[in-house]
Amino acid sequence: MSAPERIPPRSVTTAELLTRGELTVRGQIRDASNAVLQCSVAHEGQEVLCVYKPVRGERPLWDFPDGTLAQREVAAYEVSEATGWGLVPPTVLRDGPYGEGMCQLWIEGVPGSELLALVDAEEPEPGWKAIGLAEVGDGKTALLVHADDERLRRLAVLDAVINNADRKGGHLLPGAEGRLYGIDHGVTFNAENKLRTLLWGWAGEPLTGEAVDVLKGLREALSGELATRLAPLITPAELDATRARVDALLDSGRHPEPSGEWPAIPWPPV
């Protein structure tokens, strides 16, 4: 009698693993303003590390509705995927040990990719973009700069679309194979202009042709399937404001500049 045919194990997508896998809490990230737990998630023989942020651990904010930060993180992932740039790690909304929350694939940052720096100069060197002056103690200041990096430039466009109010240096994670990820997107999609970021180096400059094409695709998607995916995650007014921001970027053809109505740089910046 011949041996039975061996059926290879079914491949599990990252989204399925994050959504359906068993969450096991491994530890807590103590310096976060909201509850952030490192977990493992296992399903059908596969296991990865992830971040789990339960809604019940969210700190109330005066300018965002209570209990909505997890949904906004998922919405940022959906928009990132629609761009094709893959700038946000896979992120889902699911139940967990402490109730509903955001679950995101854990990204281990790769050292050696310097994206931010403080320099004792009035102008940045080639390959760098100026952000502004920063106090460094004893009444001294230094020029804060970020790399003139196409990955950061893409992230600056994404942040303008999702109205990111908190793009800090610590939210930039260089990954394997030259990838760059942005994390911590809980304070996004506000209907009012809240853009606060360290990525002002291209402010007022023309958008790249690639960015224009991506924004045109987003405009179409926000009237179709992407809008359907975002509808349970943000309010109708916030969805309309997202469409308006995409239209404004395409109309101007340029990276946005600080409005002057809101602090342009988050604090602390890192």
Amino acid at 166: D
268 contacts: CB under 8 Å, gap ≥ 6: 168
pLDDT for position 3? 40
State residue 1's pLDDT score: 39
Positions of the chain with pLDDT under 50: 1-10
Contacts of 132 (CB under 8 A, 6+ apart): 143, 144, 200, 265
pLDDT at 175: 86
Mean pLDDT of the residues in the chain = 91
| Furthest CA-CA distance within the chain | 85
Q: pLDDT tens digits, residue range 94-143?
A: 999 999 999 999 998 887 678 999 898 889 999 999 998 877 677 788 89
Task: Note the pLDDT of residue 32.
Answer: 82
pLDDT of residue 109: 82
Please report where in the chains the tokens 């359906």 appear, as a residue. Answer: 20
Closest CA to 265 of 111, 146, 114, 140: 146
What pLDDT score does 269 carry? 66
How far from 135 is each of 80, 118, 138, 269, CA to CA, in Å? 33, 10, 8, 11
Model confidence pLDDT, tens digit, residues 72-82: 999 999 999 99
Nearest to 182 by CA among 208, 203, 205, 161: 161
Half-sphere exposure for 139 (CA within 13 Å, toward CB): 0
pLDDT the model gives residue 36:
95
The helix/strand/coil state of 20 is: helix
